[in-house]
Amino acid sequence: MRPMRSLLAGVFAIGLLAAPSLSVPVRAEEEIQMPNMGWKFEKLFGTYDLASAQRGFQVYSNVCANCHSMALLHYRDLSGIGLEPEQIKAIAAGVTVPQGTDDQGAPKEGPATPANQFKSPFANEKAARAANNGALPPDLSLIVNAREGGPDYIYGLLTGFVEAPGGFKMQDGMYYNKMYPGHQIAMPQPLQDGSVEYTDGTSTSLDQEVRDVVTFLAWASNPEMVERKQMGVRIVLFFVFMTGITYAVKRRLWSDVH
Ligand code: HEC
């Protein structure tokens, strides 16, 4: 009985050891190099580069918004990247949205206000898929939190459109991307050098455009990050202060005990 049991245990242990090493060679081939961009906003006390986030909003509105919604954002939220109320009003007014019905009951349209949600490019999911080879462009409101690797992954994705390696079988209407899992994505390369025109003289290289739009998307996913970090600092300072007070009180109370 005894030897049988230890034999079984031994086989089981070997199985446990072998299992992960068996799967490694298969996965190693698929290993994708995640870029490490050292984003300022990911540092301990880091904040968003607001000028970059504003340019990123321009990239989103000029390019990405043709296919992707950001339905969790309202125009007034743009104050979070440092836009002034007047600028926000002007941005919203440039967008036409449904506005109830007219006197005859027909649907009416008019300029948006800062209280409106970001306008979605498609009326519904079917329309979105029909325009995108059957694929659904995901809403980008929370995309940086929704993907492993967050901002680095999205940087890699938007700069990862390259020629498919020889022998790689592409499906119709798909594009090769070195960062995307499986390497075939239904999104055509959205940004190239000079896809937008910046008014602040910043270079419009692909790298810069992608950094800017990723900064904007990171802010959209975590608009309260800076406040959270500042609150953390305040809490730590408060505890340091309280420790000092407690120590001083203790010394005072016990000062006549020898
Ligand atoms: C012509 C339409 C189109 C444009 C323009 C476009 N996208 Fe996409 N995007 C898509 C589609 C379609 C998908 C879904 C791809 C799939 O499922 O294969 C997608 C997917 C994505 C994804 C998700 C990838 C994943 O890991 O699932 C991200 C992030 C993204 N797009 C970001 C952007 C950004 C940022 C821009 C602007 C710079 C942009 N897209 C412009 C159509 C577009």
Planar angle of CA 97, 102, 108, nearest 5 degrees = 20
Neighbours of 26 (CB within 10 A): 8
- CB proximity list for 182: less than 8 A, separation 6 or greater: none
Per-residue pLDDT of the chain (258 residues; tens, 9 = 90+): 456 666 666 655 555 555 544 444 444 455 678 999 999 999 988 999 999 999 999 999 999 999 999 999 999 999 999 999 999 999 999 999 998 899 999 999 999 999 999 999 999 999 999 999 999 999 999 999 999 999 999 999 999 999 999 999 999 999 999 999 999 999 999 999 999 999 999 999 999 999 999 999 999 999 999 999 999 999 999 999 999 999 999 999 999 987
CA of 257 to the centre of ligand 1 (A): 72
Q: How far apart are CA 172 and CA 182, in angstroms?
A: 15
CA distances from 38 to 34, 44, 152, 167, 178 (A): 12, 12, 9, 35, 20
CA of 185 to the centre of ligand 1 (A): 8
> Which residue has its alpha carbon closest to ligand 1 atom 13?
137
Q: Write 240-247 long-range contacts (CB < 8 A, 24+).
A: none
CA of 250 to the centre of ligand 1 (A): 61
Q: Which atom of ligand 1 is nearest to the CA of 147?
A: 26
> Which residue has its alpha carbon closest to ligand 1 atom 15?
186
